[in-house]
Amino acid sequence: MTLALSAALAATGFDPAIGGTATGDLAVQTTINATCAIEQVPVVDFGTRTSVPAPLDFVFSIGVRCTAGAPYSIALDAGVGVAATTSLRRMTGPVQWGYTFFSNAARSAVWGDTAGQLVTGTGTGGLVSHPLYGRVYGQSGSVATPGLYTDTVTITLSF
User: Using alpha carbons only, what angle is made at residue 96 by residues 93 and 100, rounded to the nearest 5 degrees?
Assistant: 115
**pLDDT of 11:** 62
Could you tell me the residue ranges of all domains in the chain?
36-158
How many angstroms separate the Cα of 159 from the Cα of each of 75, 111, 113? 11, 18, 14
User: What is the sign, positive or negative, of the torsion defined by CA atoms of 151, 155, 77, 59?
Assistant: positive
How far is Cα 74 from Cα 121, in angstroms, rounded to an integer? 9
How far is Cα 31 from Cα 159, in angstroms, rounded to an integer? 16
8 A C-beta contact, residue 94 and residue 146: yes
36-158: in CATH 2.60.40.1090: yes
Query: Which of the residues in the chain have pLDDT under 70?
Result: 1-17, 140-143
Query: What predicted TM-score, i.e. pTM, was given to this entire model?
Result: 0.80
How far is Cα 41 from Cα 61, in angstroms, rounded to an integer? 7
- Taking only the tens place, the pLDDT of each residue in 29-67 is 999 899 999 999 999 998 888 778 889 999 999 999 999
How far is Cα 13 from Cα 21, in angstroms, rounded to an integer? 12
**pLDDT of 140:** 66
